[in-house]
Amino acid sequence: MRAVRMLDLELERRFLGPRLETAIQEVLSHSQFIRGPEVSLFAEELGKYLGSIHVIPCANGTDALQLALMALNLAPGDEVIVPAFTYVSTAEVVALLRLQVRWIDVSLEHFNLLPEKLEESWSPKVKAIVPVHLFGQAAPMQEVMEFAREKGISVIEDAAQALGAEYIYPDGRRQKVGTIGDIGCTSFFPSKNLGCYGDGGAIFTHHKELAHRIARIANHGQDSLYEFLEVGINSRLDTLQAAILRLKLPYLDDFNARRRAAAEVYDAYLGDIEAIQVPVRVSWSSHIFHQYTVRVLDGRRDALRAYLQEKGIPTMIYYPKPLPLQPAYQDSAYPVGSFPNAERLAQEVLSLPMHPFLSEDQLAYIGESMRAFFR
Ligand SMILES: *Cc1c(COP(=O)(O)O)cnc(C)c1O
């Protein structure tokens, strides 16, 4: 059996085969490494895939979030609601722009923000909310959108972990995550469901003016060459990455389906273990399993992790500490205990190996090893 990895990019490269070299070779041939034709072609293709939306490529997912916030004309001290249980980028860009984070606790079932806490997280200074679609499943967007409309605030979706996942409305209508709020953001970091072979990111919006503005901010604030209309940043997706993403985009749905199939095999092995909560599938979203994250309910998470490590099975803890308790983000307004669910999840979550190329024998080996631990 091939050694199990959290993510196996080598198998993906084998799957893509010589097409990968061809795509890279084409860029080398024309040598337009910045703003080459592949960049705008990819933006168009991704826009079509998501459902006719403007796509502005940028350098990484963190920049995407920063650009989205910069385009909203917020003033220093304005507040932004962010889940207490997410990757650091979501809060980092808020703090960088001298805005204030207002944390919201998350669900023990689906790990996304808790709609019943929205009102509590609000203040008159709140100007935006950043729902994160964690681990590949949509946040409760209908509640978020209703709340945002009622309060007159903007919605920036962090879809870095959920590109291709669909929000499902009560009437069955489906909409790709990242295209529901005012602005959507994603990352093409190699480990994401649509990853490039370096750094990359993108911003989505239905509003033409806003798209134009975001593209301008990402390009030093210039509209035409050497006319700087506002202070911007330099954030570009490079041509090589765009060429790789163009090659991979047509496989995104297939890769996500393979992840789902692997998740079902995990479920079958783990579903009846009392101390394990397998990933809860919510009614309002498809799940693309960026991560397969279980909760270990008997306090033995770290022991299980060590046991699996012994067996050659890597696992990860996403995330070991809620952001409000991280040194850089501590605030006396939010003492320990402010976000009980996020704090509890940090003690209980464990992410198992997840990628489109897990074999049946690998999945069986992981499932059996988990069962053996709890026997
Ligand atoms: C990966 C990730 C980001 C940041 O993406 P980078 O491309 O690494 O900057 C932001 N938010 C979430 C939830 C992520 O998982």
pLDDT in tens, the chain (375 residues): 999 999 999 999 999 999 999 999 999 999 999 999 999 999 999 999 999 999 999 999 999 999 999 999 999 999 999 999 999 999 999 999 999 999 999 999 999 999 999 999 999 999 999 999 999 999 999 999 999 999 999 999 999 999 999 999 999 999 999 999 999 999 999 999 999 999 999 999 999 999 999 999 999 999 888 999 999 999 999 999 999 999 999 999 999 999 999 999 999 999 999 999 999 999 999 999 999 999 999 999 999 999 999 999 999 999 999 999 999 999 988 999 999 999 999 999 999 999 999 999 999 999 999 999 999
CB 144 within 8 A of CB 118: yes
Q: Is 187 in the pocket of ligand 1 (CB under 6 A)?
A: yes
Burial zone of 282 (CB within 10 Å; 0-12 exposed, 13-18 middle, 19+ buried): middle
Residue found by looking up tokens 């299980």 in the block: 304
Give the pLDDT of residue 182.
98
Ligand 1 centroid – CA 87 distance (Å): 7
3-state secondary structure of 228: strand
Q: Which listed CATH number (3.40.640.10, 2.30.110.10, 3.40.630.10, 3.40.50.1820) goes with 9-250?
A: 3.40.640.10
3-state secondary structure of 374: helix
- Residue nearest (by alpha carbon) to ligand 1 atom 5: 61
Query: Which of 226, 230, 248 has the alpha carbon at shortest distance from 356?
Result: 248
Give the pLDDT of residue 326.
96
The DSSP code for 75 is P
Q: Which residues pair with 101 in a beta bridge?
A: 80
Q: Closest ligand 1 atom, CA of 188?
A: 7
3-state secondary structure of 126: strand
Q: Which residues pair with 157 in a beta bridge?
A: 184
Structure tokens belonging to residue 101? 């984070």
Helix (H) or strand (E) holding 27: helix 18-30
Residue found by looking up tokens 């990111």 in the block: 201
Ligand 1 centroid – CA 199 distance (Å): 10
Residue found by looking up tokens 């502005």 in the block: 56
Give the pLDDT of residue 224.
87
Query: Which of 194, 291, 292 has the alpha carbon at shortest distance from 252?
Result: 194
Ligand 1 centroid – CA 187 distance (Å): 6
Residue 371 identity = R
Q: Which residues pair with 113 in a beta bridge?
A: 106
CB 50 within 8 A of CB 178: yes
- Fold match between 9-250 and 252-374? no
Q: Is 89 in the pocket of ligand 1 (CB under 6 A)?
A: yes
Domain ranges across the chain = 9-250, 252-374
Burial zone of 206 (CB within 10 Å; 0-12 exposed, 13-18 middle, 19+ buried): middle
Q: Beta strands 183-187 and 201-205: pairing type?
A: antiparallel
Q: Beta strands 166-168 and 174-176: pairing type?
A: antiparallel
- d(CA 322, CA 339) in angstroms, rounded, equals 8
Strand order in the sheet with 183-187: 54-58, 201-205, 183-187, 154-158, 126-129, 79-83, 100-104
pTM: 0.97
Query: Which of 105, 100, 108 has the alpha carbon at shortest distance from 128?
Result: 100
Ligand 1 centroid – CA 89 distance (Å): 6
CB 74 within 8 A of CB 310: no
CB 208 within 8 A of CB 169: no
Q: Beta strands 183-187 and 292-296: pairing type?
A: unpaired
In degrees and rounded to multiples of 5, residue 350 shows phi and psi of -150, 125
Burial zone of 277 (CB within 10 Å; 0-12 exposed, 13-18 middle, 19+ buried): middle
Q: Which residues pair with 58 in a beta bridge?
A: 201
Q: Is 136 in the pocket of ligand 1 (CB under 6 A)?
A: no
3-state secondary structure of 359: coil
Residue found by looking up tokens 């007159």 in the block: 152
Q: Which listed CATH number (3.90.1150.10, 3.20.20.10, 3.90.1010.10, 1.10.10.10) goes with 252-374?
A: 3.90.1150.10
3-state secondary structure of 366: helix
